[in-house]
Amino acid sequence: MAGIWKILKSIVKFIQGLGTITIGFLVILVIAVALMGRKAEPKPSVPDGAVLVLWPNGAIVEQAQYPDPLESLFSKYRSTPPQTSVHDILRALKRAKDDKHIRALALITDSMSGAAQAHLHEIAAAIRDFKTSGKKVYALSTAYSQGGYLLAAQADKVYMNPAGSVLLTGFGSYPLYFKSFLDKIEANVHIFRVGTYKSAVEPFMRDDMSPAAKEANTAFLGALWSQYQASIVKARGLEPDALDKDVANMPSKMREAEGNFAELAVQNKLVDQLAPRATWRKALMAEYGADKSGLSFKQIRVEQYLAATDKPKKAGHDIAVITAQGEIVGGSGPISVTAAETVVGYIRNARHNPKTAAIVLRVDSPGGSVVASELIRQELAAAQAQGIPVIASMGPVAASGGYWICSTADQIWAEPSTITGSIGIFGMIPTFEKTLDKIGVHSDGVGTSPLADGYNITRAMNDETKDIIQQSIESGYREFLTHVAKGRKMSLKDVDKIAQGRVWIGTKAAELGLVDHLGGFDKAVEAAAEAAKVGKDYRVVFYRDKPNTLKQMVAQLFGSTIETDAPRTYGYSTSTSLSPVLNAAMKLKKEARMLANFNDPLGEYALCLTCEVR
């Protein structure tokens, strides 16, 4: 899509270059006429007795990026992966529960490419809450991933295509390790860290996972798997150890099912009925009536439902939601990363808004730059100094720098499956003097002090520089402990015992005092309103980037949208699952992107590389 925008911008520059007011006026007039000539799309309406269709597209995230409006016209140039906001899903389910026009919920996960455990559990809880209204829930997917099945299991009836499968494998953490590669190119990676369990640097100093990292990872992965199993067995009425037995006995059970994954899912009581699309579509038509086409059941998608039922809320106060999503980096950036200057700007705008009664910091971040993390924490502290309560709401991950920015909060809320802690920092500076020497490239010169070439990656790092950096890392760790101790009202000694870079899940973090309450985003918002003493007189305002003006205009011209990117044709989605080869390639790409985001001015990071579990 970048090429298309370059062409459009070139055209704009050409028009500007013509340099006449008349031609410029004519261009503006043509655009205005085109916009006025377009009929505004009517606001969708909710059919009486409809089935709400929840069909997440792409990855489920905190805040979805605005899709490029031209990508729908030039699909082969598509560069933005689809995303679905977890808050849109939760809002729709909560609203539909008591909506007399909605009679049931249909869930399809075939287009869902990934979701973190905390998001899945939060959606699963919302589905269970929807069912308390007496309305039925149907799972209708072709096949179920491990994440998708957590949602499907909450349904009253689980359909699956005879060609499908339910493959539950448990959770694992298998980072890539680069020491031998670095040795082969003779790169010197200088590691500075504090914390027995701070394993983020291990890929650069080992070829395997250390015993300490295995101990910590086994503990939190086991706890997450226990939570996952508990949700499934309760929803499906299975024995407590049913899933463990299914996984352990998979080869023999597959032989019993004659190698058929679909039959195995039925035998394991994970699926109620194997049926092609025509079968379940006909069943739902018989139960809920046909749509206008007469080809499917009466329905409305979540995106349409929200558009039809959204009503601006008038309130005297705002609960400002600031989202920290992705790695914490310096400078400005998109919603996919927690860019310090961008997030600080949102916080500043919120605290200078006279209507802001409280701030909810919503976090899904494994951390990153120490300096960037501290800038965000300082701005939150400035809001508190003004008398504005700050409530931290931890989503899937709030670890290392993600915990650092939460440390000043008046209250910290987390999901039971939130991955948090990892309180520790590290420094990492590679030098390539030996690599360059192998190809005949050398560095030499003079400086005014021994430190003049201290950070020169083409030269060996001297002992003075190493000593300074290690002292800085240890000071940074003490600062981290101090922020946590102050915010949690604990002693430095007690914080250090549960820090050391160790990763915890939400339930254990609550026991240790790193978290105040277990609960989702809505609970955190309610706590913020209570802390601000505004009762029910508030609205929730998400601070985020605004769509590019040019893209908005093009979207209007071509009838596209920058607000949703969901599947349009019900029942004929293309799965976004990746092959194992592509998964490995994407993992390498993600590792490279994370390294590219290492832009801390002091080379110091509070980052958890093993905290993503999907």
Neighbours of 143 (CB within 10 A): 20
What span, in angstroms and rounded, lies between the C-alpha atoms of 533 and 67?
38
Q: How far apart are the first and last CA of the chain?
A: 29
**Could you give the angle at the alpha carbon of 204 between the alpha carbons of 453 and 504, nearest 5°?**
120
Q: Of 116-120, 236-240, 309-313, which gets the smallest average pLDDT? A: 309-313
Handedness of CA 417, 420, 422, 427 (dihedral sign): positive
Residue 356 lies in a domain: no
Instruction: Determine what percent of the chain falls in helix, strand and coil, rounding each to the nearest 5.
Output: 45, 20, 40
Residue 400 is a catalytic residue: yes
Q: If you average pLDDT over residues 466-489, what whole number do you get?
A: 93
- Residue partners of 301: CB distance under 8 A and separation at least 6: 52, 53, 55, 566, 570
Encoding tokens for residue 277? 């699309």
Judgement on whether residues 55 and 159 belong to the same structural domain of the protein: yes
Handedness of CA 141, 143, 148, 154 (dihedral sign): positive
Closest listed residue to residue 176, CA positions, set 583, 602, 579: 583
DSSP 319: E
Residue 178 lies in a domain: no
CA 318 to chain centre: 24
- Whole-prediction pTM: 0.85
Judgement on whether residues 27 and 156 belong to the same structural domain of the protein: no
Judgement on whether residues 63 and 18 belong to the same structural domain of the protein: no
- What pLDDT digit, counting tens, does each position of 326-355 carry? 999 999 988 889 999 999 999 999 999 999
Report the SS3 class of residue 49: coil
Neighbours of 252 (CB within 10 A): 8
Judgement on whether residues 17 and 108 belong to the same structural domain of the protein: no
Q: Of 81-90, 255-264, 363-372, 576-585, which gets the smallest average pLDDT? A: 576-585
Residue 23 structural domain: 2-37
Kindly provide the residue ranges of all beta strands, DSSP E only, lying in 37-100, ordered along the sequence. 50-54, 58-61, 83-85
How far is CA 473 from each of CA 371, 400, 501, 564, 600, rounded to the nearest angstrom? 12, 14, 13, 44, 13
Which member of 135, 136, 198, 298 is catalytic? 198
When divided into structural domains, the chain yields a total of 2
Judgement on whether residues 81 and 153 belong to the same structural domain of the protein: yes
Q: Decide: 166 and 257 in contact? Cβ < 8 Å.
A: no
- Position 45 scores a pLDDT of 87
Judgement on whether residues 122 and 57 belong to the same structural domain of the protein: yes
Q: Which residue has the higher pLDDT, 421 or 2?
A: 421
Judgement on whether residues 19 and 89 belong to the same structural domain of the protein: no
**Identity of the residue numbered 379:** E
- Position 315 scores a pLDDT of 87
The pair phi, psi for residue 28, each rounded to 5°, is: -60, -40
What span, in angstroms and rounded, lies between the C-alpha atoms of 361 and 491?
25
Residue 156 lies in a domain: yes
Q: Decide: 257 and 263 in contact? Cβ < 8 Å.
A: yes
Closest listed residue to residue 397, CA positions, set 40, 115, 175: 115
Judgement on whether residues 156 and 299 belong to the same structural domain of the protein: yes
- What pLDDT digit, counting tens, does each position of 263-314 carry? 999 999 999 999 999 999 999 999 999 999 999 999 999 999 999 998 888 8
Residue 301 lies in a domain: yes
Q: Decide: 154 and 268 in contact? Cβ < 8 Å.
A: no
Residue 171's pLDDT band (boundaries 50, 70, 90)? very high
Residue 198 is a catalytic residue: yes
Residue 359 lies in a domain: no
What strands, in cross-sheet order, belong to the sheet with 299-301? 273-274, 157-160, 136-139, 102-107, 50-54, 299-301
What span, in angstroms and rounded, lies between the C-alpha atoms of 395 and 521?
8
Judgement on whether residues 158 and 300 belong to the same structural domain of the protein: yes
Q: The domain that contains 74 carries what CATH number? A: 3.90.226.10
> Residue 3 above 90 pLDDT?
no
DSSP string across 475-505: HHHHHHHHHHHHHHT--HHHHHHH-TT-EEE
Judgement on whether residues 30 and 119 belong to the same structural domain of the protein: no
Judgement on whether residues 144 and 68 belong to the same structural domain of the protein: yes
DSSP 8: H
- Bridging pattern class, strands 157-160 and 318-325: unpaired
**Could you give the angle at the alpha carbon of 279 between the alpha carbons of 243 and 282, nearest 5°?**
125
Which member of 145, 296, 400, 422 is catalytic? 400
- What pLDDT digit, counting tens, does each position of 178-206 carry? 899 999 999 998 888 876 767 778 888 89
Angle of the 86-97 helix axis to the 521-532 helix axis, nearest 10: 80
Q: Decide: 190 and 473 in contact? Cβ < 8 Å.
A: no
Residue 418 lies in a domain: no
Closest listed residue to residue 87, CA positions, set 127, 51, 119: 119
Residue 295 lies in a domain: yes
Encoding tokens for residue 155? 């349904």
Q: If you average pLDDT over residues 380-392, what whole number do you get?
A: 98
Judgement on whether residues 60 and 156 belong to the same structural domain of the protein: yes
Residue 325 lies in a domain: no
Mean pLDDT in the chain? Answer: 85
- Position 311 scores a pLDDT of 86
Residue 582's pLDDT band (boundaries 50, 70, 90)? very low
- What pLDDT digit, counting tens, does each position of 511-528 carry? 999 999 999 999 999 999
How far is CA 136 from each of CA 120, 132, 390, 585, 605, rounded to the nearest angstrom? 19, 9, 38, 40, 48
